[in-house]
Structure 1
């Protein structure tokens, strides 16, 4: 708008200059011509001053607009930089969280490893079937795993597990109990003669074991399955005499009554 006003003013000045001689003739004398020229020059100076002011205002406005644009660009640049910094910070925080979690996991693994080694070096006290003995962590874990297989009813796998356990730990405090459960797994698998052998091994090694009366009763059950009624009666008589107060002895008396 300011540029348009400037052009209109310039056209007006040119028109005034072109009309100056005609005015001089109209006024009919040098004095009048001079006055006309002086007035024209004054108007021209006034318009020039006005146009210069307008041009200056336009220049200032242009500079201010440029400064505003530069300020806006600087502000946008700063905002983008802040966004980038926030994104980097979030990434760093996430990485720090992952690093802390990894360190915690490593620490847990190290502690667990040390504890496992200590348990292997220092056997723990175990109480099973009324007997107390020492066993390392691996020994405990393998016995418990074999027993868990038996309790799930997986008797062939249990028979293998207890057989391997007894081979690996022939002097184990778990041995009498392992023989008992191995015999039961064999009974479930109809390996009656093998079961009788392991039950007798239990009785020979630990006749006072808590499972001993049950082992004798199980031998009688195996003999019954093998159609050895006479042997079963002898075994049941031995059970009643050796462990008269046991629950197994009460069951033996009932079976003796049926066998006779």
Structure 2
């Protein structure tokens, strides 16, 4: 009876012996040989799978780097545009003008501030190189422009807006605890208001700025779970994922960011999410 040795050389000899005329081997040796051949095949398949996975990862890495480069270019262009707009606002303001022009300037200034706030919070981007858009409203002689007195609006809608804006002002002043408290009051007092989802999101932002990431996660979840059609929904996913990363829970953070990328693949939030995932590999 012929005995097959183990290992690559023995395996090769066994194959030759099985093919040789008159060679007799036991059933158990044949089964051992078959098992070894099967295991070798499995190893080859596993290696092929790993090579395929590496190819996919390399392709994904290339895509992420391209997205990061494109997003960086977009951000730099936006910064330049904001700087130019702010310069125009300041120039026009210092030269003065009719009250309707001043009103337009005020509105433009507020829009610039809103863009700055969205970039620095919702997308967590550094735009510290830009000066604040707010500048004193002055006439050509340097005197303050007198605004006509408006009747006090005491309607529920006006009161709600006043409360919401007060919270936003506190947030801009970095009084985050006070801002969060006011937004919580707004949600309680006006649960059916169209800005409830925004107020919930900004509570998350306040907690995030205070580095209370656990409560930030919960606040963002209120938006995700209850207001999926809100404009703040993609930003809530992004910031919740970032909060999980801050808490050291990379698995949960990646799951949330992957969900964001899947739902909104072409959004600015998705591009930011890809960059965060890559940074934390």
Q: TM-score, normalised by structure 2?
A: 0.45
Structure possessing the higher relative contact order (Cα contacts under 8 Å, 6 or more residues apart): 2
- Give the number of the structure whose residues are more often helix, by fraction: 1
- State the structure with more CA Rg: 1
